[in-house]
Chains A and B, each alone.
Chain A
Amino acid sequence: MSDKKNVEHNHDDHHHHHHDHSLLPEEPELRVKAIETLLLNKGIINSDTVNELIDTYENKIGPRNGAKVVAKAWVDPDYKKRLLENATKAIEELSYTGRQGEHMVVVENTPEVHNVVVCTLCSCYPWPVLGIPPTWYKSDEYRSRTVREPRKVLQEFGLELDLNTQIKVWDSTSEMRYLVLPMRPVGTEHLSENELESLVTRNSMIGTGLPEMPK
Chain B
Amino acid sequence: MTRIHDMGGRFGDGPIPLKKIDGKVVDDEPVFKTDWHAKAFAITVASASVGKWSIDKSRFFRESLPPKDYAKFDYYEKWSSALINLLVERGLINKNDLIEITKKAKEDNLEVSQVTDEHQDVLKAKDVAITLGRGGPSARKVLHSPKFNVGQEVRTINYSPNKNTIGGHTRLPIYARGKKGKVILHHKGHVLPDASAHDLGDSPEHLYTVEFSSTELWGDKDGNQKDSICIDLWESYLI
Contact = CB atoms under 8 A, between A and B. Distances in A.
Interface stretch (A75-83, A161-169, A184-192): A161-169
Nearest to B184: A168
Contact of A35 (B16, B73, B84): B84
Q: Which of A36, A38, A100, A163 has the most CB of B within 10 A?
A: A38
Interface residues of A, number: 95
A6 B23 CA distance: 59
Nearest to A48: B125
B84 to A, nearest CB: 5
A100 B66 CA distance: 26
Contact of A34 (B88, B89, B110, B171): B110
A213 B218 CA distance: 35
Nearest to A133: B75
A200 B83 CA distance: 35
Given A39-B43, A101-B135, A140 B36 contact: no
Interface of A: 14, 17-25, 28-54, 56-58, 61-62, 97-103, 105, 118, 120-123, 131-132, 134-136, 138-145, 147-151, 153, 156-158, 163-176, 201-203, 209
Contact of B41 (A98, A132, A139, A143): A132
Contacts of A43: 115, 117-119, 122
Given A20-B95, A174-B190, A29 B34 contact: yes
A32 B35 CA distance: 10
B134 interface: yes
Interface of B: 5-11, 13-18, 23-25, 27, 29-36, 38-43, 45-47, 50-51, 55, 59, 61-66, 69, 73-77, 80-85, 87-89, 92-93, 95, 97-99, 101-102, 104-106, 110-113, 115, 117-119, 122-125, 128-129, 131-139, 171-173, 175, 185, 187, 190-191, 193, 207, 209, 211, 217-218, 222, 224, 226-234
25 contacts: A19-B85, A20-B84, A22-B69, A28-B36, A28-B77, A32-B80, A37-B104, A39-B93, A44-B51, A44-B87, A45-B47, A46-B118, A52-B125, A56-B129, A58-B32, A99-B132, A99-B133, A99-B134, A103-B137, A121-B63, A121-B173, A136-B18, A139-B16, A140-B7, A209-B25
Contacts of A35: 40, 43, 80, 83-84, 101
A47 B219 CA distance: 52
B interface: dominant SS: mixed
Contacts of A48: 124-125
Given A41-B113, A147-B8, A148-B9, A102 B29 contact: no
Given A23-B102, A174-B187, A41 B136 contact: no
A120 B173 contact: yes
A28 B185 CA distance: 41
A95 B75 CA distance: 29
Nearest to B116: A43
